[in-house]
Amino acid sequence: MAKNKINRIPIYAVIFTVVLKLLFLLTHYIQEDAFITWRVAQNLLDYGVIGFNGETKISASTTHLYVFVSYLFNLIFGKEYFIEPLLVFNSILFTIGTLFLANLTLKNPWHKAIFIFLIGILPPGVKISILGMEYGILFFLEMALLYYGFSKGKRWALIFLPVLIMFTRIDTVIFLGIVFMVDVFWNRKMKWNYVFGGILGLLSVLSFNWLYFGELVNNTIVAKKLLYEHNFTFEQNLNYFLVSFGNFWGMLKLPGNFNPVTVIVLIFELLCFIYLVRQREKRNYFLWMIFIFGWAKQIIFLSQKSLFDWYYWVPQLLLFVPVLIFVLEQKERRNLWLSLLVVFYIVPMLAFQTVHAIATGNGEWNYRRGIGLFLDAFEKDKKQWILLEPAGYIPYFSGLKTIDEVGLVDKQIQTEVKKDKAHYWINTVKNRRPKYLLSYKNLFQGNDALYYQTHYKLMKEFRIKDNLKSDHPILEKIYHLKPSGTDYNLYIKID
């Protein structure tokens, strides 16, 4: 009986960690792109079409599976009340995923419990749980594949889970491929059920894209590549990589080209990994999988200049796993090691993430959402168009049809980029004539000022400095410490 109680400790850690992290919901820190996925889900609910603007089909979201999950939550809880239940669901799935990972790499129930809690309160663990993106589901599925498919040898997991993983994000082919290569190298034979599951997953998502959208890869990938592609020299690419490495490889962003925290943590991660794999434990099988994947994912995405935080959350956590295992399994002075880790890394990271979440939540939920609500109240005709960037909060809360600068939610702007990348914005305005323009810049200055002055008038200025206020002095200090948001000018068509 006592042994059963001890074995339940990791389950209690899952519950405790989830409940504790729910406090972050109070910050209203939700990633902009989550609202793109949720609008796609609501478009499916309203029009029966996976799209963003009415009956036009477009893969505006990076994830198909999460669109369907969001659709179900909208259906069950309603458009007004689905967000909090969905965020709780994401947090639960992610934390169960950390339980799977703990079971793969640790034996002692108390070590597992501490591991689950500590990895859950690191910045990527918090963001995966509460920012509304698809990574809670993805982390759960990937760790479930390792646990049930490669540890327990369940055939259903090897066949079925790769399909769900690929439908969550198509770039998970990196994870599935690394797992396959490590498994073949380790066991000197192939798991044919897994090969079949991988092929089935790839064929399923590509076939779905082609048959439904008429494209092999998601529109989001095509749009970003088209707009952000640059012809850099090797030296420029290398410099770009090194600058990005400092901010995306580790968990702490610092201004400048060099991030000493990232370098120190990277070296410690490597040393801990080498120390652990030299012990020749069964778990090395999984440590090699997650560590090689972490490196591969980071290097591939950094080299492709994919500078979006969420691409790096899972690798950041998996690369830190050896550090936690190393500290927890110290036979001598374990408490000292653990205390040093908590005091000098975990707590500062948690404090950093708390401040970041409060400040960014204010800039996103209170400020950018406020612009959307202003437009929603002002413009009752939801068939009117707005041209802006980004396509998250403001289109979601305004309900207006949307053209985004990148072309994530509207393909026609990609045609303008291909024709004349330098002038695609003004050409889009002239050809599409949207009723509203929301710009970072003053459109009444510059080469095209006369056109804008003739056809549009300045309707309202939105300034982030006006949003850095609170009745709570501590919150106001945090807002000023890290102001989050962008100044906007809203223009309305006059002819």
Task: Read off the tokens for 347.
Answer: 């707590």
Task: Quote the pLDDT of residue 256.
Answer: 67
Residues 252 and 191 reside in one and the same domain: yes
Same domain, 304 and 362: no
Scored b (16 or more CB within 10 A) or e, 261-282 reads bbeebbebbeebbeebbeeeee
Alpha carbons 319 and 269: distance in angstroms, whole number: 7
| Amino acid, single-letter form, for residue 426 | I
Check whether residue 430 and residue 392 sit in a common domain.
yes
Residue 227, pLDDT above cutoff 80:
no
Does 301 fall in a domain? yes
Average pLDDT over residues 273-288: 92
Tell me, yes or no, whether 54 lies in a domain: yes
Residue 481 lies in a domain: yes
pTM for the full predicted model: 0.94
What Cα–Cα distance (Å) separates residue 224 from each residue in 169, 228, 303? 16, 6, 15
Give the number of C-alpha atoms closer than 13 A to the C-alpha of residue 415, restricted to the C-beta side.
8
- Give a yes or no: residue 145 inside a domain: yes
State the pLDDT at residue 301. 86
Tell me the mean pLDDT in the region 104-115. Answer: 95
**Domain final position from 291, 311, 329:** 329
Measured CA to CA, the distance from residue 102 to residue 378 in angstroms comes to 52
Give the whole-angstrom CA distance, residue 385 versus residue 57: 17
Residue 353 lies in a domain: no
Same domain, 369 and 286: no
> Is residue 460 in some structural domain?
yes
Q: Which residues make Cβ contacts (< 8 Å) with residue 167, sequence separation at least 6?
A: 63, 64, 65, 201, 204, 205, 208
Could you tell me what percent of the chain has a pLDDT over 70? 98
Same domain, 70 and 155: yes
Grade residue 2 by pLDDT with cuts at 50, 70 and 90. low
Instruction: Inform me whether the pLDDT recorded for 231 exceeds 80.
Output: no
Residues 55, 150: one domain?
yes
Q: Is residue 79 part of a domain?
A: yes
pLDDT of residue 159: 96
State the pLDDT at residue 252.
79
pLDDT of residue 205: 94
CA distance 235 to 232: 8
pLDDT at position 351 is 93
Q: Which of 48-62, 215-229, 434-448 has the lowest mean pLDDT?
A: 215-229
Query: What span, in angstroms and rounded, lies between the C-alpha atoms of 304 and 442?
Result: 32
Residue 222, both tokens: 């095509």
pLDDT in tens, 310-332: 889 999 999 999 999 999 998 88
Cα distance between residue 329 and residue 276, in whole Å: 10
Residue 245 sits in the same domain as residue 390: no
278 pLDDT exceeds 80? yes
Co-location of 218 and 367 in the same domain: no
C-alpha 52/C-alpha 15 separation (Å) is 36
- Mean pLDDT across the stretch 22-44? 94
55, 204: one domain: yes
Per-residue confidence (pLDDT) for residue 115, from 0 to 100? 97
Per-residue pLDDT band at 287 (split at 50, 70, 90): very high
47 with 380: CB under 8 angstroms? no
Q: Note whether 322 and 429 are same-domain residues.
A: no
- pLDDT at 274 exceeding the cut of 90: yes
Provide mean pLDDT across the span 460-474. Answer: 90
Contacts of 104 (CB under 8 A, 6+ apart): 143, 146, 147, 151, 283, 286
Instruction: Give me the pLDDT at residue 29, please.
Output: 94
Domain extent, residue 299, equals: 2-329
Q: What is the mean pLDDT of residues 403-420?
A: 89
Q: What is the pLDDT at residue 307? A: 75
198, 153: one domain: yes
Residue 130 sits at the vertex; the CA angle it makes with 124 and 134, to the nearest 5 degrees, is 80
Residue 337 included in any domain? no
Q: Quote the mean pLDDT of the chain.
A: 91
Domain count, the chain: 2
Same domain, yes or no: 323 and 375 = no
